[in-house]
Amino acid sequence: MSFWEKLVNFVSQSAGNVLTGVVEAVRTLFEGDPETRRQVAFSVSLIALSAKMAKADGFVTLEEVNAFHEIFEIPDKERANVARLYNLARQDVAGYEAYAEKLKGLCAGGEEGCPILEEVIDGLFHIAKADGAVHENELAFLARIAEIFGISEVRFKAICARHIDRGSNDPYRVLGVKRSDDFSTIRSRYRSLVAENHPDRLIARGVPKEFHAAANDRMAMINAAYEEIERERKAA
């Protein structure tokens, strides 16, 4: 059974539940299948929080909808089921902070600093910027979600730099290093990022293969930042 078939099965069994019911359904339905549980936890988190982000921003653009489908590459026959989960989250009276708290536990499973939570933030940025800009309300939303997830300010700024050009387009911030760092330190950081974003590592963290299009976009930005720094250092 494919990942999306399992997700559709999950949606059909938890339809109509509010946040707590959805979270408990994921834990119960996939208790004996940790790999699928991680994938479903990731997808449910990104779907639910993107719905809440749209509500916080006040509207959903066609570009954001297209970005959402680009991330997940949802087969036509299963889009209606994903839309059901999206609308459940959007209509739920629970605030986005409550969602983030619950989904943090669902994704991390008790693990501190769970890497999959950064993947959720990255995916939300990918959707938010689809209309050409990450708006003020969206950025505040994302910063608060990152805070709840326990993502450090330094890490959050590095994620921001991959998605937002604040005028400086600083490649050092993209890699999460300082201009004062020597090149060996920068190269080491770059290699760590490459290893972290290898498809096998993403799968091990529970990131569905359907999400890898966004991961490839991120890797391209990381490569470009490193190449720019390398050219700068050689020229100096």
Q: What is the C-alpha to C-alpha distance for residues 40 and 48, in angstroms, rounded to an integer?
A: 12
Q: What is the pLDDT of residue 155?
A: 85
Please give the structure tokens belonging to residue 184.
């060996």
Q: What is the pLDDT of residue 140?
A: 92
Q: What is the pLDDT of residue 166?
A: 52
Measured between its terminal Cα atoms, the distance across the chain in Å is 55
Q: What is the pLDDT of residue 167?
A: 46
Which residues 6+ apart lie within 8 Å of 49 measured at CB?
89, 96, 99, 100, 103, 120, 124, 145
pLDDT in tens, the chain (236 residues): 666 666 666 666 655 555 777 777 777 777 887 777 777 777 888 888 888 888 776 666 677 777 777 776 677 777 777 777 787 778 777 888 988 888 888 776 545 456 778 888 888 888 888 777 788 888 999 999 999 999 988 888 888 877 876 545 688 888 888 888 999 999 998 998 888 777 677 766 666 665 666 677 778 888 888 998 999 888 87
Q: What is the pLDDT of residue 221?
A: 81
pTM over 0.95: no
**Would you say 64 and 54 are in contact if contact means Cβ atoms under 8 Å apart?**
yes
Q: What is the C-alpha to C-alpha distance for residues 17 and 164, in angstroms, rounded to an integer?
A: 36
CA distances (Å), origin 16, targets 48, 84, 124, 164: 14, 9, 24, 36
Furthest-apart CA pair in the chain: how many Å? Answer: 61
Please give the structure tokens belonging to residue 44.
């449910």
Please give the structure tokens belonging to residue 59.
């509207």
Q: What is the C-alpha to C-alpha distance for residues 116 and 126, in angstroms, rounded to an integer?
A: 15
Q: Which of 82, 107, 80 is nearest to 7 (CA)?
A: 82
Provide the 3-class DSSP secondary structure of residue 149: helix
